[in-house]
Amino acid sequence: MLLLKSVEELQIVLQKKRQKGLKIGFAPTMGALHQGHASLIKKAKLENDICVCCIFVNPTQFNDSKDLDKYPRTEGKDIKILVGLDNDVLFYPTVDAVYPKDLHIPIFDFGQVDKVMEGKFRPGHFDGVVEVVYRLIDIVQPDRLYMGQKDFQQFTLIQHMLQQMQSSTKLVVCPIIREVDGLALSSRNVRLTPENRQNAPIISEILHGLNDWLTNGGSIKEAEAKAITQLNEMPDFRPEYLEIVDGYTLQPIEQMEDSDYVVVCTAVWAGGVRLIDNVILKGGQQK
């Protein structure tokens, strides 16, 4: 695996590959790699000639500086994982390389898509995500970009951004990878207390349980209220939001018939750790 820190070196390497007609798949990450990230790399390897993974803990997307400080950094372990996955290129840039002084990032209009859910509770977060993904795509110019469904709102925004850029990069969304007990994999899971870790699978259980409720004719409003009550009943758990929304616009729907793509998204504090999860209830890529 080639490990590159410099933008210029990376671009020279990738330009040569492109000239040979090779296709480039790109998986941006913030490191602390787990099986969720591995699934992106594996798919990128399958669908392209070259897989580029980036590890960059992007400071501009942390609305809480304590969260940035606490973000796990596991460089040695990450490199071993990537080598084990036969990843081709690891781009490991510095903050100055990603954000040179003369950098210009266009302004995108996402309407309400970046204002709801995560956008409401983590002000500024998506500005940082869009900024860094725009910059990384500009550097790597991949044929395909691999992102996880776990960050549903994030990939939806990036899809909107690619459309507005009229970019030729195709976004490929990979399904959520879960522990055997259902907990969605996240770099933050290691920070859960043993008790909260034991209780955390309830989140996915509740989200999946909504399927039965809604197919049996239960209303959306009741479903949301029921799920929030169940989460609040868990000791040390505090749901921030739980919303059943249209999967394209992320706007609330009143009944399942209102959309052909419906998703339930939630963010829950388990002690001091903020967990997010979602389940597609209708249409889309994954049931």
Residues that bind ligand PAF (CB under 6 A): 28-30, 58, 61, 129, 132-133, 151, 154
Q: How far is the CB of 117 from ligand PAF (least distance, A)?
A: 15
Closest by Cα among 139, 43, 45 to 88? 45
Closer of 13 and 171 to ligand PAF (Cβ)? 171
Is 37 among the catalytic positions?
Answer: yes
Ramachandran sector of residue 236 (left: φ over 0; alpha: ψ -120 to 50; beta: rest): left
Q: How far is the CB of 147 from ligand PAF (least distance, A)?
A: 6
Neighbours of 211 (CB within 10 A): 16
Q: How far is the CB of 229 from ligand PAF (least distance, A)?
A: 30
Q: How far is the CB of 155 from ligand PAF (least distance, A)?
A: 9
Structure-token match 């055997």, residue found: 180
Alpha carbon distance 199, 235 (integer Å): 9
Q: Is the dihedral of CA 139, 143, 149, 155 positive or negative?
A: positive
Q: Which residue among the candidates 37, 104, 160, 208 is catalytic per the annotation?
A: 37
Structure-token match 């990384």, residue found: 136
Closest by Cα among 151, 132, 128, 122 to 64? 122
Closer of 58 and 278 to ligand PAF (Cβ)? 58
Q: Report residue 101 as tokens.
A: 């002084």
Residues counted in the chain: 287
Identify the three-state secondary structure at position 262: strand
Q: How far is the CB of 133 from ligand PAF (least distance, A)?
A: 6
Q: Report residue 198 as tokens.
A: 């034991």
Q: Are 230 and 202 in contact (CB under 8 A)?
A: yes
Q: How far is the CB of 74 from ligand PAF (least distance, A)?
A: 14
Alpha carbon distance 202, 200 (integer Å): 5
Closer of 58 and 199 to ligand PAF (Cβ)? 58
Rg for the chain, CA atoms, rounded = 19
Closer of 5 and 16 to ligand PAF (Cβ)? 5
- List C-alpha distances in Å: 206 to 23, 104, 201, 275, 281: 40, 43, 9, 14, 12
Catalytic residue IDs? 37
